[in-house]
Chains A and B, each alone.
Chain A
């Protein structure tokens, strides 16, 4: 027997592919469009969501028997907001440089529907350990899509990866640009993120027919 039982391992594995929060559950689309123009931003956002969703799921799960059902959404919001503010304050005090990069994402995390979605659908009905795994799994599933989209948008839109030019210099016309290649400025705009996500969904569903709904 491995570290995790089969059922627990599925909590991590399923969201990576067949139950992906973005491509199957269609949650978190807004941030997937907003911040994937650069690979670095996608990675930073993924790590932030990993933390907030992992910890948040545990907190909600521990409180699941005492949360009044009438105000549970508000309670969930407060938990996310508190976690995010704590992280922001601690970073500002001890890792100021990092906090400046992250501050943009703070607002986006609070409104990220994946977080509310997992609290509501999973943490309210399951124990802390399983909720933690579910949070990590879904955050990783979110991360995979974000990083794929960020990779293509930065590569085709700016000709760079993590800010490093990989296709040559567009002004000096070296590398690929020497053969008449041009960056596609349209890739930097959000509509193209939606198209990239759409292509991922298409590829995924054509490989696994069970995912196609009638």
Chain B
């Protein structure tokens, strides 16, 4: 005799019920936890920007953010201005302050701009909004933090890079969605991120060159800060190339802003 559970009708009914139950459960969980998750993500962005500015609780060789409790207040204090630029053809076409941006975007803070979305908008020919966070680091120097976004080996990688007015790196933070633990995932280790400190984004003649994560670097301790190179991580070539690529493509867009700064200073 055929077992009850072997019948086609039973199989179909079972599948339908299972999908409904699981779907409803996950949808309910996702929507009820969403406010908490997006709040966590908001605080993380503040922590990331502060980290790149040099406001962090690093100890020994491990990278530590300021606590989520302190982050909002520190963010308020340390980040003196959030600019939103629009650049086309190497010229700044629009520059909004935080207040101007919030007024025209339902009160959305510039640091919450979705870089991934801006990047895909730009591909479709729409203008790309470039947030830039200005503040003073611990040494009292004015730094400019720019978000960058790209892809590694498996999934998205992103980061925040702080530069001074000469586009010399003053701090960097990188993160990833799913790089291999122990290899590509090490881009968020301090030994890699700290290596960027003091590196020049421009060549000696002032042309934008970016920073290459280089294999077989002749300068592994990174004494030479003007070679536009940092040492790569063994076994993480593609993730490293992704980091080089996102620095090149995204930070280049900010160059007109720094050119303007220089003109104004002279």
Contact = CB atoms under 8 A, between A and B. Distances in A.
Give the size category of A's interface with B: 35 or more
B182 A75 contact: no
A131 B218 CA distance: 56
A95 to B, nearest CB: 9
Interface residues of B, number: 35
A186 B128 CA distance: 43
Contacts of A35: 180-182
Given A89-B33, A92-B37, A69 B26 contact: no
B235 A185 contact: yes
A189 interface: yes
Contacts of A36: 182
A104 interface: yes
B175 to A, nearest CB: 8
B18 A78 contact: yes
A22 interface: no
B192 to A, nearest CB: 13
Contacts of A103: 177-178
A201 to B, nearest CB: 22
Contacts of B30: 89
Main secondary structure, interface of B, reads helix
A70 B175 CA distance: 43
Nearest 4 Cβ contacts at the A-B interface: A37-B182, A41-B181, A38-B182, A68-B11
Interface of B: 3, 5-7, 10-11, 14-15, 18-19, 22, 25-26, 29-30, 33, 36-37, 40, 44, 61-62, 175, 177-183, 185, 220-221, 234-235
24 contacts: A35-B181, A35-B182, A37-B235, A68-B6, A68-B10, A68-B14, A69-B6, A70-B11, A71-B11, A71-B15, A74-B15, A85-B26, A86-B25, A89-B33, A93-B37, A96-B37, A103-B178, A104-B178, A104-B181, A154-B182, A163-B61, A163-B62, A188-B182, A189-B235
Given A82-B26, A92-B40, 19 more contacts: A34-B180, A35-B180, A37-B181, A38-B181, A67-B14, A68-B14, A75-B14, A75-B18, A78-B18, A89-B29, A89-B37, A92-B33, A93-B36, A93-B40, A96-B40, A103-B178, A104-B178, A104-B179, A104-B181
